[in-house]
Chains A and B, each alone.
Chain A
Amino acid sequence: MSGRTRTARTLALTAAVLVAAAAAAPGAAAIDHSKGHPGYCKTDTGVTVVVDFQQLGGTTIVRCNPQGTRGTGLDALKGAGFQIAGVQRWGEAFICRIENRPSAVEKIPVKGNEGYREACVDTPPAAGYWSYWHAGNNCAWNYSQWGVKNRDFVPGGFEGWSFSLNATADSNPRPRIAAVRPGTGGRACNARAEPKPTTNDPNARQPGSGGGNGGTGSGGDNGSGTDGGSGTDGGSNNGSGNGTGNGGQGSTTDPATQPSDGPVQRPGALPPPRPRNAGAQQAADDPSRNVAFTGGENARDVNDVVREQSGASDLAPWVAAGAVVLLAAGTTVAALRRRRARRA
């Protein structure tokens, strides 16, 4: 057999295998909007997720992840029905888009690069990224010291995502929705303080966090209210009442400092968790100052929006596949013909 025929056959085979591999990708399974429910969580079970687009524009969305078991911040976000995208480099350990904002076609006026567009390939710039917050019910927002996959959400509490544009570590905007569930206003904040990160290991988990769904969950070491052991005990929110009593333990809050999910710390590595100095603010914001929000009831499926934005055509992939097959056939025929001509 000649090299040409063999080459042609290799080409055809490679093309066939690759087309088959691409075709074998499972069908669309978007994070559906049927997960979670709009608005605040009604009870202590589950966690309320607030997504504040800030300067990106767009109405703030509040949804509830009613999941009773423990889970990470990522589980909360997904369980509430938000459709997110992680950067290609780190996967979902670094969230670059929530509900397709900032989209790939959207220009973000980042300082020093006015026409910046988030491609979600590498770590977003420190001047334009989704900052990650959390709060117990009736507590002030805390800038998370841990990455989204490295800490557990506080059952009955809040998870906040706020787009930080041209802000410093001290001026990151906190979500403009007070972390107070309707009907529970005026009660004491009794969430336990989260332990600070002690290592630089990006994979380190917050002590006491149980991991994804159905994690163990022995929880914290002090008897404070919502330490999330079971996550289903109805009275944990205002139970033991030590929230404000145990020294610096209660609900330290400083909406600032080191982003664990923020700017690049070391190029070439996922930003490590960073400890920060605890502040003293303890009270939640005034709920009457909340910005307008929706439950995202009318939000369209992100996959549809992306399809529309990109001008993608349903036909184009078929044409591409057809072109590949045609070219492979043409290649085989040409190789055979040249070989025959040479033989003659």
Chain B
Amino acid sequence: MGAGSPRARAAAYFLPRDLHPGAWWVWTLGLAVAASRTTNPWLLLTIVAVVCHVVVVRRGEAPWAMAFRIYLVLGATIVALRVGFRLVFGGAEGSTIVLRLPEIPLPAWAAGIRLFGDVSAESLLGGLYDGLRLATMVICLGAGNALANPKRLLKAMPPALYEIGTAVTVALSVFPQLAESVLRVRQARKLRGGTGGRRFHALRTIVIPVLEDALDRSLRLAASMDSRGYGRSGTARPRARFTTGLLMIVGLGGVCVGIYATLDGSTPRFLALPVLLAGLAVALAGFRLAGRRVRRTRYRPDRWRAAELVVAASGVAVAAALFLTSGVDPTNLNPSLTALSWPLLSWPPLAGVLLGVLPAFLTPPPEPTDNADVADAAEKVTA
């Protein structure tokens, strides 16, 4: 690296490697924040397309990377549910009736609830836009899980975040691992030729092995973490540990509330910056206390290099673009459904969202798995 012709430098830059997981998470969260700012279906669809493209081009071969499909299914389910609820619980808001269902009369104590009846295009579209926004955010999180290696993320945690980081990483990797278990159990069932069966039987033959698998895996994980010194309380007294834990939980709770209020335009402002800052202060005190007694060294730490910066900057740019447009030109971010019309779209937010696709071209590809064993396992999982 460093010296050499531009071509050589470019070649070095694009040398296949796995990027820092933090960079991918910054990118992912940037896109999720952008999605939370708008209900414009054009923007949301573009975000989903961008995310899918980058994931398929840049994910590795690991099991957690294979779980992305499940997030897509989850997103589709969310949209279907949102629209379905508008069908069932009265979707007559608006004047363009597209479907006339017989209304089921309800007793007086259920006043305010309506079952079926007329369904208007406005309410269906409202459900669609709203569901699409949530689905997009879920898919963004799925992309984070697919692109970032949770184990390396744990390695990159600063010592102060050590306790929280362990919990968060374990929690984050539960879903991908369950997904992997499901795929594996299904594969095994197929090999045994047991796919016929009744529905209930099929469910039982998948759910029980998956749960057993999850239990086994967590025991194994606990044992391996224990043997590596995780969760070691060191020389700290119980009271000090309690204080540290309390400070961190209260602080991080405050940070969560503050961030939510900052991002969501409709929450009272006093919940935004003041709570965020107070939470941050408390959490930092907790981190200081925690960091003082955790001493760890890192083996071959991941570094932030140019490619990581590109990825993170792209995510931040998308979020910033949507924040700026909602300040300058908020008309299109929440399309009105009162006068039914095509959702309008202006150039700045669209261009901003399209910045998110840069990592697909400007980052090195993931490391190919040349290890025959791993490839074999991946093949098994994927098939």
Asked whether any CB of chain A lies closer than 8 Å to the CB of B244, the reply is no
Report which of B126, B347, B368 forms a contact with A313, defined as CB distance below 8 A: B347
Chain B residue numbers with a CB within 8 Å of A307 are 344
Contact with B334, one of A88, A91, A302, A334 (Cβ below 8 angstroms)? A88
Determine the chain A residues whose CB is within 8 A of the CB of B121 once the complex forms: 25-26
Residue on A with the closest CB to B266?
Answer: A122
Q: Are B183 and A320 in contact (CB-based, < 8 A)?
A: no
Kindly state whether residue B338 has any CB partner on chain A within 8 Å. yes
* A169 interfacial by beta-carbon distance below 8 Å: no
B354 contact from A85, A121, A122, A323, Cβ within 8 A: A323
Inter-chain contact B76/A14, CB cutoff 8 Å = yes
Q: Are A11 and B52 in contact (CB under 8 A)?
A: yes
Min CB gap B73→A, angstroms: 8
Query: Does A167 reach chain B (CB closer than 8 Å)?
Result: no
Q: Which of A28-36, A126-134, A170-178, A238-246 contacts B (4 or more CB under 8 A)?
A: A28-36
Whether B42 lies near A120 (C-beta < 8 A) is no
Q: In the docked arrangement, what's the CA distance between A91 and B91, Å?
A: 11
The main secondary structure of chain A at its interface with chain B is helix
Q: Is the CB of A31 within 8 A of B346?
A: no
Chain A residues near B357 (CB, 8 Å)? Answer: 327
CA distance in complex: A22, B383 (Å): 33
Q: Say yes or no: is B45 at the interface (Cβ < 8 Å to chain A).
A: yes
CA distance A319 to B338 in the complex (A): 25
Q: How large is the interface on A (under 10, 10 to 19, 20 to 34, 35 or more residues)?
A: 35 or more
Within 8 A of B (CB), among A1-58: 2-4, 6-8, 10-11, 14-15, 18-19, 21-22, 25-31
Given the known inter-chain contacts A3-B383, A88-B337, A317-B343, please indicate yes or no for A327 contacting B183, CB distance below 8 A.
Answer: no
| Contact A29 B125, beta carbon cutoff 8 Å | no
| Residue of A31, A83, A324 most packed against chain B (CB within 10 A) | A324
The answer on a CB contact under 8 Å between B345 and A104 is: no
Given contacts A85-B336, A323-B354, contact A18 B69 (CB under 8 A): no
Chain B interface (Cβ < 8 Å from any Cβ of A): 39, 41-43, 45-46, 48-50, 52-53, 56-57, 66, 68-69, 72-73, 75-76, 93-96, 111-112, 121-123, 125-126, 128, 132, 183, 265-266, 269, 329-332, 334, 336-348, 350, 354, 357, 360, 368, 375, 379, 381-383
Given A18-B132, A19-B45, 15 more contacts at CB 8 Å? A4-B382, A11-B56, A25-B121, A25-B342, A85-B339, A92-B93, A121-B266, A310-B344, A312-B331, A312-B345, A313-B347, A316-B42, A319-B350, A320-B43, A334-B57
Q: A: which residues have CB within 8 A of B?
A: 2-4, 6-8, 10-11, 14-15, 18-19, 21-22, 25-31, 78, 83-86, 88, 91-92, 103-105, 113, 117, 119-122, 201-203, 302-303, 306-307, 309-313, 316-317, 319-321, 323-324, 327-328, 330-331, 334-335, 338, 341-342
